[in-house]
Structures are given as C-alpha cells and as structure tokens.
C-alpha cells in the first residue's frame, strides 16, 4: 500500500482552511499544512484542527518554497507520494482517490491535474482572462520546447513520486516554480501524466502580490525564469541539449 502525504500550502486562508482540511481528512491520508507566514487567523485555526502536521514559515517565503519543503518532509519520513493541493476550495478533495488510484498504477512520476482536458467540467467556472491567457502561452511554449503534451501547466493539484522529486534541484520559491519544475522533470526523464480536475475559481480578485499582479510583468517573469532554467540544464542533460534558446528573446 502506497504511503501518500497530502501537502497543503496556506497563506492567509482563514476563510477556507478549517472547512477544506475537514474534507481532506475524510480520505484517510496523512496531511501536512505548510503555513507560509500567515498574518491572519490561519495559525490559530490550524492549532484547533486535529490529526494534521504543521510546518510553519516565520515569514512568507513563497508558494514554490512551500512545495519544496513538502517534498523534503515527505522524503525524510519515507512517504511514497506527495499530493499537493490548494486551500482555497479550488481543488476538490473528492478527487483525492483518483490521484491515489493513478499513483497505484505505477506508470508515472508526476500526475498533474488539468482543468482544461476532457472531464467533468460542464459547469466549470471561468478563470480571469489574464490567467487563462498566460496559462495557454506558457503551456504551449513548454510543449513545443520540451516536447510535452500538457493541457494545464499551472495546476497545483498534483501527485509527485517522492523518489523522483529527490532527483530534482528545485530552488524557485515563488509562483514561477512550475517553470523550473517542468524543465527539470523533462531533463530527468520523469514520466508525466495528466488527469482531469474541475475548473473552479472562488475568487477572481485574489492577488499574486507585487509586480506579479501586472499580467505583462508576470508573463515576462515566467519567461525569464524558464529561459534561465533551460540554459542551466542544457549542458547537463542530453534530453535538452538541442533545445532552442528562442526564449531568451522578448515575447
């Protein structure tokens, strides 16, 4: 039987955290909450939830760092898989068994949720146009550059084989984390699968923070991180040795 850890990064999620964790715990897996320096009531609410582990950042370190810390935690404690999911009710806990079943098939290292592949999305919400457009641009670029066939490169609802994550050198602490993750996953020849998840947007006004609230600046940042990561691994990985450096140019 696979040991799966459910890792939930949170930052100022007092509105959702108690309800979401209550639903997640129904599925019987160990739960790790990474509190990324919350300044609202989230820390006090977490202390009232039984049966969870809590990893606390003394200050906000970023979504990517929360995932990196979750992978380290899982490796140190002998878990086989880490399932990451958000705490804002945009990821349905009811999909946890589907990820677990996909992990049991043992034919993938990364099982990535997709909000844009065929599935049960008949009553899906509509994402903010800038988020959908950036997702499309980056997904198409990753597919053409890395020879992938992703439909959703930014979904945080993902199952990760712990042993495979130990092969990666992940260092990007912020929201550009997927740029590094996908490049290194391909460089290490990880097997990648997508499964459908529901497209849910509870709050289209949520912010990234700082310059990333500007869609143009956010896209440029993602492209710069992607170009830097490609350059870093090209000399090390025969898989990416022939990758074009067109990303170095302005979009």
- Between 210 and 135, whose confidence is greater? 135
Tell me the domains of the chain and their CATH numbers: 4-208 (3.90.550.10)
| d(C-alpha 143, C-alpha 241), whole Å | 16
Rg of the chain on CA atoms, in Å: 17
Cα angle at 186 between 184 and 187, to 5 degrees?
60
SS3 217: helix
Q: Which helix (H) or strand (E) holds 23?
A: helix 17-24
Token pair belonging to 93: 């806990």
Is the pLDDT assigned to residue 243 strictly greater than 80? Answer: no
87-128 pLDDT tens trace: 999 999 999 999 999 999 999 999 999 999 876 554 555 666
Is the pLDDT assigned to residue 205 strictly greater than 70? Answer: no
- Between 131 and 147, whose confidence is greater? 147
Give whole-number Cα distances, 18 to 28, 41, 221, in Å.
17, 11, 33
Predicted TM-score of the model (pTM): 0.89
Contact at 8 Å (CB) between 164 and 188? yes
């Amino acid at each position: 039987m696979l040991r799966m850890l459910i890792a939930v990064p949170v930052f100022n999620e007092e509105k959702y955290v108690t309800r979401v964790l209550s639903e997640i715990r129904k599925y019987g897996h160990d739960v790790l909450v990474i509190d990324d320096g919350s300044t609202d009531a989230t820390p006090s609410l977490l202390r009232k939830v039984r049966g969870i582990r809590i990893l606390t950042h003394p200050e906000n370190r970023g979504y990517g760092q929360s995932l990196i810390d979750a992978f380290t935690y899982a490796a140190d404690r002998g878990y086989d898989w880490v399932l990451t999911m958000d705490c804002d009710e945009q990821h349905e806990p009811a999909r946890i068994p589907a990820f677990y079943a996909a992990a049991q098939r043992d034919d993938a290292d990364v099982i990535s949720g997709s909000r844009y592949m065929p599935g049960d999305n008949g009553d899906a919400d509509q994402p903010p146009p800038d988020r959908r457009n950036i997702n499309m641009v980056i997904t198409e670029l990753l597919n053409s550059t890395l020879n992938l066939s992703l439909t959703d490169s930014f979904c945080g609802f993902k199952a990760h084989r712990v042993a495979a994550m130990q092969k990666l050198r992940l260092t990007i602490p912020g929201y550009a984390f997927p740029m590094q993750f996908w490049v290194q996953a391909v460089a290490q020849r990880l097997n990648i699968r997508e499964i459908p998840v529901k497209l849910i947007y509870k709050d289209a006004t949520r912010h990234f923070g700082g310059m990333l609230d500007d869609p143009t600046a956010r896209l440029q940042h993602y492209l710069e991180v992607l170009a830097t990561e490609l350059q870093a691994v090209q000399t090390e990985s025969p898989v990416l040795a022939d990758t074009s450096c067109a990303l170095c140019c302005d979009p």
